[in-house]
Structure 1
């Protein structure tokens, strides 16, 4: 199959799926629970570095390293989510931005992460003696994405997901209803971070070299743009937003338009992202496929104190 599939196109899809995992985690935190995060790249980096360090410096099996990387990111994300208990909205965004910059600085200067030199020679996983490169790695990331989407659907339609959405709509009402907002806010950061950790581990073992510059603020801003444009609180919106913004620059590379200087592609990309953000925020504040809290309509009479519906929430 490797001789049939063009490695360039396979790599595009692999990195697209990795960004979809990042987007799913961020949409869980911001779209479903309403906790604005500008430091999502930090979780991405923790997963990548954890798996790289365990496999390269620790000598652990690649599969075990990737699984442990997700667990480690889950724990660190829960710890980094603690500021959400004290600050909200704009202040939370600034706090998560600061945490992201601190963690990137740690990646760049710490000895265990290889400092400015990063970590190289990260092994590619093998299955039954078959090295998962090209089509094999594509199959791996697709399976992980499918599992991630299934788990997200189950969580968001469960009691936990409903609690997150109540917190998103009105945290004061959530507390009045007896929802433990402390627990659920830390939990959503932990799970959203675990998604980013899985993406980071897959990224590290795909590129075989990682450095701190791969996990900067620009990654957080890009993923947030993807989620906002696609739609907050929508899995379909995440898939659409990530696919649109990730594949758009690739179209310029594939078709090589004469009026575009490829040296400035990154600049053009950010201009397009910005224009799309302005357009979507102006005309579709919840994103193209964003939900407007329809699942919480049953809570509105209770919130307003309407007598005839009061018994249904007793």
Structure 2
């Protein structure tokens, strides 16, 4: 089957799915819980480096390495999410940006991460003695993505999701309704980090070589742009935003437009993302599929549930 499909096109879809999983995690943090994060690439890198180190230096089975990488990312993400308890909005964005830069600097200078040289010879995944490459790896990631979408959908439709959305609209209202904002803020960073950690681990075992350059601020900005443009607090918004903005530069590579200098494609891409962000913020702040005016609906719904249960708290 691998011989039938062009490996180049398969790789495009593989990396697209990795970005979708990464975007789902960020949309939980920023879209559903309203915690602005400019350091999501740090969680992505923690998952990638953790799995790479465990599988190359500790000789751990790659599947176990991925599992432990996700757990490690969850723990670190929860810890790094603690500043969200003290700062919010613009200040939280600056704080997460700073943490992301610190973690990238650690990747670039620590001996355990290979420093500026990174980590190579990361083992590829195999199942029942068969290496997962090209189409088989694509199928694996499709399964991972579908599970990720299902989990996000179930969470956001549950009491946890409703609590996140009230926190997003107004911290004070959430606290007055008995929602434990401390718990839910740390929880969303942990779960969003789990998605980023999984994306990073699968990314590392796909490319078999990673360096700090793969987890810089530009990745955080790109993912945030995709999520915002697609729609905050919307799964299909994440799918749409990531797909359109990831595939658009690939079209320029595919068709080789004469008016585009391919050497500067990355620069053009960031300029395009920035322009789209400005336009979206002006005309549709919640994105194409973002839900508008959710505050009153959520608060009214939660008050009804509270009175129906005789004053029982949401959390």
- What is the TM-score of this pair, normalised by structure 1? 0.96
Query: Shift of residue 294 of structure 1?
Result: 3.4
Describe how 1:105-184 pairs up with structure 2 within 5 A: 105-184=105-184
Counterpart contact for 1:166–1:296, Cα < 8 Å = no
Q: Which SS does the other structure have where 1:227 is aligned? A: helix
- Counterpart CA distance in 1 for 2:214 and 2:261 is 24
The alpha carbon displacement at 1:36 in A equals: 0.3
Structure 1 301/230 Cα, relative in aligned 2: closer, same or farther at 3 Å?
Answer: closer
Is 2:58 the counterpart of 1:58?
Answer: yes
Find the counterpart in structure 2 of residue 244 from structure 1: 244
* Structure 1 segment 1-314 matched on structure 2, within 5 A: 1-294=1-294, 297-300=297-300, 311-312=307-308, 314=311
Task: Sort the Cα spacing of 1:310 and 1:95 in 2 relative to 1 into closer, same or farther, 3 A.
Answer: closer
SS at match of 1:240: helix
Q: How far apart, CA to CA, are the structure 2 residues paired with 1:28 and 1:309?
A: 23
Q: Distance in 1 between matches of 2:306 and 2:205?
A: 54
Query: Following TM superposition, by how much is the alpha carbon of 1:301 offset from its aligned partner in structure 2, in angstroms?
Result: 8.7
- Unaligned 5+ segments in structure 2 are none
Measure how far apart 1:37 and its partner are. Answer: 0.3
Whole-angstrom distance in 1 between the partners of 2:194 and 2:296: 26
Cα deviation 1:202-248 (Å, max 9, x = unaligned): 10000000000100000000000000000000000000000010000
Q: RMSD between aligned alpha carbons? A: 1.6
1:275 Cα deviation from its structure 2 partner: 1.5
| Distance in 1 of aligned mates of 2:63 and 2:159 | 32
Please give the alpha-carbon distance, in whole angstroms, between the structure 2 residues aligned to 1:190 and 1:302: 24
How far has the Cα of 1:290 moved from its partner?
A: 0.3
Residue 136 of structure 1: how far off its partner (Å): 1.0
- Report the Cα offset of residue 257 of structure 1: 0.8
Shift of 1:295: 7.5
- How far apart are 1:282 and its partner, in Å? 1.2
Cα offset for 1:192? 0.2
Structure 1 distance, partners of 2:203, 2:252, is 23
- Structure 1 segments unaligned to the other structure (5+ residues): none
Secondary structure of the residue aligned to 1:19 is: helix
Which is worse superposed, 220-229 or 262-271? Answer: 262-271
Secondary structure of the corresponding residue to residue 35 of structure 1 = coil
Count of residue pairs the alignment pairs up: 310
Could you say what secondary structure the match of 1:199 adopts? helix
Does structure 2 retain, via aligned residues, the 8 Å contact 1:169–1:293? Answer: no
Measure, in 1, the Cα distance between the counterparts of 2:214 and 2:301.
Answer: 47
Separation in structure 2 between the aligned mates of residue 241 and residue 206 of structure 1, nearest angstrom: 23
Pairwise CA distance, 1:176? 0.8
